[in-house]
Amino acid sequence: MQLIKFCNSEHNINSGAGLRVGTLFQYRTIENSELRDGEEGNFEFVINFPEEIELDRQTANLLLAGAVHFGGDDDLQTPRFPGTMSANIEHLHLVRQHANSVVVKDTSVRVKRTTINSLIFCMSAMKDATNCPFEGYNDSWSVPIQKANSLANRIGELILLQSKLDNFEKHLSKSHSPSSIKHLGINIRHQKVEYRDRTLNVTPKKPISYNNLVKLLSDIPFSKPTSFSAECEYRFIFDLVDQERIYPPVVDYVDLNLNLLANI
């Protein structure tokens, strides 16, 4: 399996081109309609409980996203996700509440998650470059999928070495000097994109566990609609951080000069 970057010849790094790392939100308005996803970074789903069902308190609090909170003597902390999360209770019928669970029926909740903006680099995980999923591209370059971690770390190094303070949220320039950006950290995540519908219905016959729900809400940057599935995307996410906060990018992309990819 290869990680393939489909491109035009002038953008092939094997011919000396630089590397452009885009941003998550850029793909909401990008000119290329094949790549554009107006809801990039968002995920909305509906939870329907038409029949009486008992939910553990932790799951109930996470699903309701603070709209209603069920407390207890050993109050549990709801996980925090970068970005925003909101819940709109379309209908709630609380049958009864126990110490560590609640029972509901005829209940419907719409949850929306929006992640923060991040630097991203997208490739396709395919056996070879025979079938390009994008029209208009005439070239490609690739690395074995086993080297995904090496590629991610190298791009992260380049972002720290070559980015400017004003590429990121303004708080960065207030707390760091231009010479200190290379001493900041980069949080890197990379994996295959999961293709799913924007709306998810959870019923008593098709339940979702607390751990799976947390994973779903955490992996918003790796979720795309099924209409994009032919791309077989493998996505790299880069977040600039220090010990206190994440600094999202405020530009559409960062161009990197690349000698350093040669030895991956």
Summarised one tens digit per residue, pLDDT across range 198-219 is 667 777 777 778 888 888 888 8
Give the residue from 263, 97, 108, 240 showing the smallest Cα distance to 175. 240
- Greater confidence (246 vs 148) lies with 148
Using the predicted structure, report yes or no on whether residue 70 has a pLDDT greater than 70.
no
Question: Does 30 reside within a domain?
Answer: yes
Q: Provide the number of structural domains found in the chain.
A: 2
Regarding whether 209 and 78 lie in a shared domain, the answer is: no
Regarding whether 15 and 51 lie in a shared domain, the answer is: no
Measured at the alpha carbon of residue 25, what is the angle toward residues 21 and 28, in degrees to the nearest 5? 110
How far is it, in rounded angstroms, from Cα 263 to Cα 260? 7
Tokens at 151, concatenated = 């590629």
Question: Does 262 reside within a domain?
Answer: no
Which single residue is written with the structure tokens 């790549």?
Answer: 35
Question: Taking the CB of residue 118, how many other CB atoms lie within 10 A of it?
Answer: 24
Convert the pLDDT of each residue in 221-262 to its tens digit.
Answer: 898 888 889 999 999 999 998 877 888 998 989 999 876 554
Question: Does 263 reside within a domain?
Answer: no
Convert the pLDDT of each residue in 6-61 to its tens digit.
Answer: 999 999 998 888 999 999 887 655 545 555 555 666 777 777 888 888 888 888 87
What is the pLDDT of the chain when averaged over all its residues?
81
Regarding whether 156 and 85 lie in a shared domain, the answer is: no
Q: Are 84 and 41 contacting, i.e. CB atoms less than 8 angstroms apart?
A: no
Q: Is 66 left (phi over 0), alpha (psi -120 to 50) or beta?
A: left
Picking from 114, 147, 168, the residue at the C-terminal end of a domain is 114
Q: What global pTM score does this model have? A: 0.80
HSE-up (13 A, CA, CB side) for residue 157: 11
Picking from 58, 92, 114, the residue at the C-terminal end of a domain is 114
179: Cβ contacts below 8 Å, ≥ 6 apart: none
Give the domain range for residue 75: 42-114
